[in-house]
């Protein structure tokens, strides 16, 4: 049976490399894992004062979409050696109201993406810290650091042109499917 996985992309950029990698993974994962891209770009900055019985509509939409998924795949770039603020904000929005976190106990995996050679290592590992607190069992191995990404994608449509990367991502997704099976509640 197929498992619904939230695909969260840390970049809001239209031509995002991270989004391109995430969408390639969505195609590679099917039908075993059904990856659903859940947008984070319209989420107002988290402010507890707004988290009333009628919170911002985008927060409710995001929480409801996350609630229908059983696992989460994060594909993110690195901003200043950490995660982009938009991604941290999405983690915060999903974590509240207190006791109603939509992240709780969902298995997770992280792919970091960069045009640079360090492959967003800093973002990959910074993201692991809040996931501990959010009680998301996060796959340790294999790790996925996609560096020098511009050379891996076709300029016209952002699809993968590197067969080795495709094989690697497929193996990563297979491992994630196994991880979800052993850790989901």
Give residues in contact with ligand FNR (CB under 6 A): 11, 13, 16-18, 77-81, 113-116, 118, 120
C-beta closer to ligand FNR: residue 95 or 114: 114
Contacts of residue 44, Cβ cutoff 8 Å, sequence gap at least 6: 50, 56, 58, 59
Burial of 173 (0-12, 13-18, 19+ CB in 10 A): buried
C-beta closer to ligand FNR: residue 69 or 114: 114
- Identify the CA nearest to 157 among candidates 9, 17, 8, 10: 17
Q: Could you tell me what percentage of the chain is helix, strand and coil, using 3-state DSSP and rounding each to the nearest 5?
A: 40, 15, 40
CB of 23 to ligand FNR, least distance (A): 11
Tokens standing for 135?
């009680």
Question: How many Å apart are CA 134 and CA 161, to the nearest integer?
Answer: 36
C-beta closer to ligand FNR: residue 37 or 51: 37
CB of 114 to ligand FNR, least distance (A): 4
C-beta closer to ligand FNR: residue 102 or 149: 149
Taken in order 69, 29, 183, 119, the sign of the CA dihedral is negative
CB of 151 to ligand FNR, least distance (A): 13
Instruction: Identify the three-state secondary structure at position 43.
Output: coil
CB of 7 to ligand FNR, least distance (A): 13
Question: How many Å apart are CA 47 and CA 157, to the nearest integer?
Answer: 37
CB of 13 to ligand FNR, least distance (A): 4
C-beta closer to ligand FNR: residue 14 or 49: 14
């Amino acid at each position: 049976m197929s498992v619904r996985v939230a695909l969260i992309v840390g970049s809001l950029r239209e031509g995002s490399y991270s989004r391109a990698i995430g969408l390639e993974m969505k195609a590679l994962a099917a039908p075993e894992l059904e990856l659903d891209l859940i947008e984070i770009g319209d989420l107002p900055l988290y402010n507890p004062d707004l988290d009333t019985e009628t919170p911002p509509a985008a927060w409710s939409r995001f929480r409801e979409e996350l609630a229908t998924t059983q696992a989460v795949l994060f594909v993110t770039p690195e901003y200043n050696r950490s995660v982009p603020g938009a991604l941290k904000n999405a983690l915060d929005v999903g974590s509240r109201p207190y006791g109603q976190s939509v992240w709780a106990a969902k298995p997770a995996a992280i792919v970091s993406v960069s045009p640079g050679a360090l492959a967003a290592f800093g973002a990959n590992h910074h993201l692991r810290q809040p996931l501990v607190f959010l009680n998301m069992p996060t796959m340790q191995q294999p790790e996925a650091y996609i560096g020098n990404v511009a050379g891996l994608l076709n300029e016209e449509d952002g699809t993968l042109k590197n067969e080795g990367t495709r094989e690697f991502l497929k193996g990563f997704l297979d491992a994630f499917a196994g991880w979800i099976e052993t850790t989901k509640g």
